[in-house]
A and B are shown apart, each in its own frame.
Chain A
Amino acid sequence: ETGVTQTPRHLVMGMTNKKSLKCEQHLGHNAMYWYKQSAKKPLELMFVYSLEERVENNSVPSRFSPECPNSSHLFLHLHTLQPEDSALYLCASSQGEVSGTETYTQYFGPGTRLTVL
């Protein structure tokens, strides 16, 4: 395992539901990322947090709301999603230069397979 866990692994929700995805990293990293992986499309970077501060928001619809309460945890809050939001959502973490040792490598969790009905 990579040291990055995600729960739940599978989620089925209706368009009116509210749910949250959770990511936890046990690597001591200080940057965390959310990606969306859809069939036949390149990996899409959604959000980046560095030192618990959101530093990237790549034109993601407001129905996706990230939260980073501390450097080890990252959440993605979901509400009123659309069927086209069905995808594999991947969390990743990396070690930034701030701590003096930057590796540039992102380590990924196993993902949450989301299906929106």
Chain B
Amino acid sequence: AQSVAQPEDQVNVAEGNPLTVKCTYSVSGNPYLFWYVQYPNRGLQFLLKYITGDNLVKGSYGFEAEFNKSQTSFHLKKPSALVSDSALYFCAVRDSRFFSGGYNKLIFGAGTRLAVHP
């Protein structure tokens, strides 16, 4: 079955410390992976994606993610957390069972709440 797992409901980190939000996936074929962030009362904002190429992907707001094929993981990282990074983070993978040139279907994880403390 195709799925995305975010094993931590919440991650707590002190401001200035590095942060990691974990994501593992299960999909047939090559994975297309995404990270989104959601602030309170807002929609999902795209952070970064991995389609192909370098395993380390850099995105918005200083975030990056590392694709690890052997561990089927795509963890989100930031070297130095800010209080303003506190939000809900979603990992997603394109559903490879489905293919259409006109659109795509994403499978989302349940989300991880990141709390950055001053």
Contact = CB atoms under 8 A, between A and B. Distances in A.
Contacts, number: 66
Given A104-B32, A104-B94, A96 B101 contact: yes
A86 interface: no
Contact of B41 (A51, A94, A106, A113): A113
B42 A106 contact: no
A43 B90 contact: yes
B108 A105 contact: no
Interface string B60-101: 000000000000000000000000000000100010000011
Contact of B100 (A4, A6, A55): A55
Contact of B104 (A6, A42, A94): A94
Given A43-B90, A104-B32, A111 B43 contact: yes
A64 to B, nearest CB: 18
SS class, residues of chain B in contact with chain A: loop
B49 interface: yes
Contact of B102 (A4, A50, A105): A50
A70 interface: no
B45 interface: yes
A4 B94 CA distance: 21
B43 A98 contact: no
Given A30-B102, A55-B100, A102-B101, A43 B108 contact: yes
Nearest to B95: A45
Given A6-B43, A107-B46, 12 more contacts: A2-B43, A2-B45, A50-B100, A96-B100, A96-B101, A104-B32, A104-B94, A105-B34, A105-B46, A106-B46, A108-B36, A109-B43
Interface of A: 2, 4, 6, 30-31, 33, 42-43, 45, 48, 50-51, 55-56, 90, 92, 94, 96-98, 102, 104-111, 113
